[in-house]
Structure 1
């Protein structure tokens, strides 16, 4: 059996190869929209004496909010001494799990495309290739479901911690003291919202691809090649 590289672009015209290209692209959109994010919310404080002051809540990937200072050091705000204060929450595990899954799928899609386009003759001549491909695809479907759900909850936690209610609950100065705190400028979270959509989209794309990969396995071929009850196998002509 020849095992050398043989470039063949025909798999790209079939669902098996075409969907892999789609998976490669959607994985990039998923982890890329989270991994490079950085945003700032501007908090306006209306002091009792008519004076206004502002604070900045700068948050970014991986969203360890508890390490991000809202008030970096002992500071006088609205004529009150305010101790160093940090945002509340930590969505690092959810965001890193999501990005990690996306990177793994990105790399696996490229590796699978290399096999499909250069070693399809080896892939189809062995049981190991299609079965390994199917099992790993099924695992990745599950990972996309889990990481997308976790990141959707993690993103909501980020929003809750950086909105007006979250800031009021975090900054003691905003509780009484005749000081009103509110977020007047919000970071653009569109890319993060899209990341959740792309996460679940990846789950559906990989689930659909699992069927086409399953058709390449011997489990599928045996299912349709075995004779049914009451039927005799006809010997092949000599």
Structure 2
């Protein structure tokens, strides 16, 4: 059933049995106990991450990363210190996700506010967190040099002012591919751009065009001169 991309629940499994066995009359409760005891299946939340991590292309990328990681870590006679960086968030108030209910309005209450959301950024090695590299700021508000949510500007500011000055000697940094960990040095023109935006890009590049040209003509010129690769 999983191989055929079917949704697997007790009712659908029981229907499969009924199609093959004429007098199959297991109750749902008996069926559940039988599947739990005989085959080790449990009713739980689907783990999409586990499925993704087992895809061949993801496995290949993970192997390549580990090879690069080991090669860089062992550069030189003493090797380099691996520094891992990451970001997360936390609410000032926690809340329970589940409760016992009887499907009436008396037991189904509105979820309480979880409070302010805070962004947390840090870096660490096998010896622990790097002193002075911690950053916590309130999401949605300007806090010192940081504001709103984590973005490229905030990340770059933290990287230059807090991480790099506090790195151990001979370090190399490992980070994931979050959108704010990189950014285009220059935007590449797209067909969806307005005529004004396209003409501004052409002028910046000193590329000639007729001011009264239609947008399709402007786009044709920009497309011929735009870079083939992102930087």
TM-score range, shorter chain: under 0.3
Question: Normalising by structure 2, what TM-score?
Answer: 0.22
- The structure showing larger relative contact order (alpha-carbon pairs under 8 Å, at least 6 residues apart) is 1
Question: Normalising by structure 1, what TM-score?
Answer: 0.22
**Which is helix-richer, 1 or 2?**
1
